[in-house]
Structure 1
Amino acid sequence: MTMQNNVNAARHHIETLYAQDVCAQNMGIQIEHIDIGLARLSMKIVPHMLNGHHRCHGGILFSLADTAFAYACNSEGLAAVASRGSIDFIRPALVGDQLTATASVRHQGKNTGLYDVEIINQNGNVVAFFRGYSHRLSPPISDNTLKKNQPNRQGE
């Protein structure tokens, strides 16, 4: 498989995940770029994302970073989940800010991976750093695997 075919396959895997990622869609997260071991996502901060100090809630920032991490570690078509994640908040994100989260692989072993995510605002200022550890599952991702793994919950 050529490098371009690998990149196209990575994009397909992540577009398939995103199509079923109700949380990311409801948060307004958009895919900007996908490559093997890399994901760049964006999201605009809106009023319902603010905490009592009129700043973006830390959980929202964690979710954006975690989503970028998830897409980067699943980009090779091998199903992976988080085993650990941590975040350092550098500066507040405010309503109207356009955030970009870029996740990239630092190390990928047979089953475990290490990924870093940087979140910046529209001015290029760092808002947060995230580090995530992944664990690969089996079998590889396929459209059929994703559809079979959907929870069947009525009324949600």
Structure 2
Amino acid sequence: MMEKNYSPAEIVAKMLETDYFSQWLGIELIETGPGHCVVRMEVRKEMLNGFGLLHGGVAFSMADSALAFASNSHGKISVALDNSISYPAASRQGDILTARTEELNLTNKTGLYLINITNQHQKKIAVFKGTVYRTEKSLFDHTGSD
């Protein structure tokens, strides 16, 4: 029996369906393609640190979700091996953040990604680099879908 080929959009939509943390963040999928995605979210009050700025962990989480969507868009379950982030500018409540993922390198076993997060003024607020391990398992086999 031949396995169905799912589009990156179908794969990411299926992931987002059960990704309750990304849903809580308010992540909205804007665009997706093989090894690529663009997501957006609004900074809410409960995302702020004690200085009234976006908590770094929230920006990290947004980038990590974008990494997961882009790296899994090929259909193979991919999991993070190593991630790092830099914060060139602050973000505040009400900001609309956009994370754009670029696939820098892809092999049978690993993928390397760069995620830039900008605010509504196109100011870069975070730069995230992520490396994933690519398993042999299909995302749809894992989730029990056909």
What is the TM-score with the length of structure 1 in the denominator? 0.87
Q: Answer 1 or 2: which has greater strand percent.
A: 2
Give 1:64 shift.
Answer: 0.3
Which one-letter code corresponds to 2:123 in the other structure?
N
Matched position secondary structure for 1:66: helix
Whether 1:28 and 2:26 are equivalent positions in the alignment is yes
1:137 corresponds to 2:135: yes
Runs of 4+ in 1 over 2 A off after TM superposition: none
Name the counterpart of 1:68.
66
| 1:92 equivalent in structure 2 | 90
Aligned to 2:13: 15
Once the 2 structures are TM-superposed, how far is the Cα of residue 147 of structure 1 from its aligned partner?
Answer: 4.3
Measured in 1, the distance between the counterparts of 2:53 and 2:139 equals: 37
The offset of 1:141, in angstroms, is: 1.4
Question: How far has the Cα of 1:94 moved from its partner?
Answer: 0.3
Q: How does 1:98-113 map to 2 (within 5 A)?
A: 98-113=96-111
Aligned CA-pair RMSD? 1.3
Could you tell me how far 1:111 is from its partner in structure 2?
Answer: 0.5
- Pairing of 1:49-68 with structure 2 (within 5 A): 49-68=47-66
Which residue in 2 is equivalent to 1:146? 143
Report percent identity of matched pairs: 31
* Structure 2: unaligned runs, 5 residues or longer: none
Q: Is the 8 A contact 1:69 1:104 kept in 2?
A: no
User: Aligned partner of 2:32: which letter?
Assistant: I
Query: Secondary structure in 1 aligned to 2:53?
Result: coil
The C-alpha deviation readout for 1:57-84, integer Å capped at 9, x for no partner, is 0000000001001100001111101001
In the TM superposition, residue 139 of structure 1 has moved relative to its aligned partner by 1.4
- Name the amino acid aligned to 2:139: I
Alignment-mate amino acid for residue 37 of structure 2: A
TM-score between both structures, scaled by the size of structure 2? 0.93
Q: Hey, what's the Cα distance between the residues in 2 that align with 1:74 and 1:123?
A: 29
